[in-house]
Structure 1
Amino acid sequence: MNKYLLIAGTLCLVLGLFHLILGEILIFKNKKEHKKIIPTIVTCCIKERHLRIIWVSWYLVSVFGWCIGVLLIKIGTMQTEWRADLMQFIMTSITITMLCSSLLVFIATKGKHLGWVVLLIIGILTLLGI
């Protein structure tokens, strides 16, 4: 069992869950009409269709994070070895994705959004697990 990948995968799942919940509470809560799932209340500078795609994109980030988390956990708990070159490619791809994501969030939020720290930790743990 690879503890680095297991922790990184678990962090992906937790980060995706927090991302989804906090987004609903902090961003989309006041943008929904009573008993509607998808936000439709727009402000002066955004159209309803744009708000809808932002909402969907918000959820996709969490879903993709969960997918990566499940992959990391599966790879980290495997008892048998898969093809080494395939595993190397997958792990390198995930590592680069997490490190680049961390950098993007850091730059875009000037370091004020703590998501960059978790993404960086996931990237480092994945790198250690290779």
Structure 2
Amino acid sequence: MNTYFFIAGILCFLLGIAHSILGEYLIFNSKRIKGKLIPTKANEYLKERHLRILWATWHLATVFGWCIGILLLKISVLEKSQLINFMVKSISTTMILSSLLVLIATKGKHPGWFVLLAIGIVLIIGA
């Protein structure tokens, strides 16, 4: 088993859990009518339909992260091949570029950039 790929997969799951829980608590909780799943409290700057798609997109990032995590957990127990090398290089590049995007966009104030970078580096080490 490739422990590095396994660790990277687990980090993807943990990042997704933190992302969804903290997003719901810090961002969407105040924009939701009590008892409703989807936030709908619009204001003059953000229409309800925009708020709904922001909420959906927020959680899509988590779902996609979990998908990558599942792939990495499976890859961690497989023998290396050209396809696996390609997948790992693609995922590590995606994680590092995503890290830079979050780092620049938030001026380093959002901790997600560090976890994304860690995943990318762990994958490079494991390759």
TM range (shorter): over 0.9
- What is the rounded CA distance, in whole Å, between the counterparts of 2:43 and 2:76 in structure 1? 45
Instruction: Tell me by how many angstroms 1:128 deviates.
Output: 1.2
> Which residue type is aligned with residue 12 of structure 1?
C
Q: Which residue of 2 aligns with 1:99?
A: 96
Q: Which residue of 1 aligns with 2:49?
A: 49
> Which residue type is aligned with residue 88 of structure 1?
N
Q: Which residue of 2 aligns with 1:122?
A: 119
Please give the TM-score of this superposition, normalised by the length of structure 2: 0.96
Q: Secondary structure at the match of 1:44?
A: coil
Give runs of ≥4 in structure 1 deviating > 4 Å: none
> Which residue type is aligned with residue 24 of structure 1?
E
Instruction: Tell me by how many angstroms 1:42 deviates.
Output: 1.2
CA RMSD of aligned residues (A): 0.9
Please give the TM-score of this superposition, normalised by the length of structure 1: 0.94
- Flag structure 2 segments of 5+ consecutive residues without an equivalent: none
Measured against aligned partners, the alpha-carbon deviations of 1:21-58 in whole angstroms (never above 9, x if no partner) come to: 00000000011112110000012211111000000000
Q: Percent identity?
A: 57
- What is the rounded CA distance, in whole Å, between the counterparts of 1:5 and 1:87 in structure 2? 11
Instruction: Tell me by how many angstroms 1:10 deviates.
Output: 0.4
| Structure-to-structure mapping, 1:58-73, within 5 angstroms | 58-73=58-73
Q: Which residue of 1 aligns with 2:107?
A: 110
- What is the rounded CA distance, in whole Å, between the counterparts of 2:104 and 2:43 in structure 1? 26
Paired positions, count: 127
- What is the rounded CA distance, in whole Å, between the counterparts of 2:13 and 2:91 in structure 1? 14
- Flag structure 1 segments of 5+ consecutive residues without an equivalent: none
